[in-house]
Structure 1
Amino acid sequence: MEMTTPFLLPAVWEDALQVIDLISSADENALLYLTGKNSLDEAKEVYRQGFSREDVYYSYRFTLVCFVNGRLAGCILAFPGFLEPDFISEADSSLPDVREAEDDELYIDSLAVYPEFRGQKISRYLIDAVKVQAKKHQLSKLSLLADDAKPYLEKMYRSYGFEVVEEIILDGVRHKKMTYLIKS
């Protein structure tokens, strides 16, 4: 496939269907866990409805979409850590009181790229874009959680300059918290 230059846009609420489908294809267990739903379709519906709101972390306002040749290729959802305590939980179950992001971080909750666009540096393009967002919010780092069951994620993020700072267990799954220091 011949690739033209990818371009980024801030997501709009009308992107909900495509963005949530893409995010769920990358990590459906996270959607199930965070919504407390047993069905992926139910979990995706909770996310789609919330995507148009501003009081949840998976809002369109924290999402960038990347297009290549007019097609959605990938997306990244990243929010300022200082907002995390204010977000309303949509979960049916009670989630452990674990902060994923510190106040001085732009937390990358989700990064997803469709398989046919992988290997074309789309994820790096998205990461570079949120570095700019972090600077706009005067945040000193990016952070994310990499699932230990997917070691290729840690390898990819290390190649982008992220470092492991601690381990966190969520829903019985071990994750590595990784950060990237923003250069002024």
Structure 2
Amino acid sequence: MKMKSLKHLLVIAAASGSMAITANAAASEWNYVGGGFYDFGDGGFYLEGSTHVAERLVLNAEIGDTYDTILRVGGKYLTDLALGRAPMFITAGYSDYSFDSGVYFGAGVSLEIDQGLNSTFELMHDTAADGFFRFRSGLTYALSNQLNLAGSYSLNNRGWDNELRIGVQYKF
């Protein structure tokens, strides 16, 4: 891991710790830490964290270590809008790849399919490396009140490799 990546990992660890301290007392699907297998051109691992810091604001961070190190730090604004039963959110943040950085922005929906089975769909644009779009779909399956199996697949355009994640999430 490069020194720049190590610094990013330390920043994420510090941010995650402070987010956990300031997290809402109420249970939220957005309060979790997780990790697992990550395939983005090469196999590796990912770590992620998210916390509901205000009624409509969620902060999140993720780092993936494959051939290149990927860092994304940002937030989600939970809107009053919905597509049917699926509440919509707006997302934006900073992205850093080992060779370039940029900002990302987009929108998505979160839907409870069945008790313990949730899905998320996001469409984002990332300005790094001349820009590309990402459509991410994901599922979480509750093993218990605090432990989820999680998986997602992202379709990327403009020659970017698609992304696959399989892991676990611990909800707090």
TM normalised by structure 1 equals 0.29
Higher strand share: 2
Higher helix share: 1
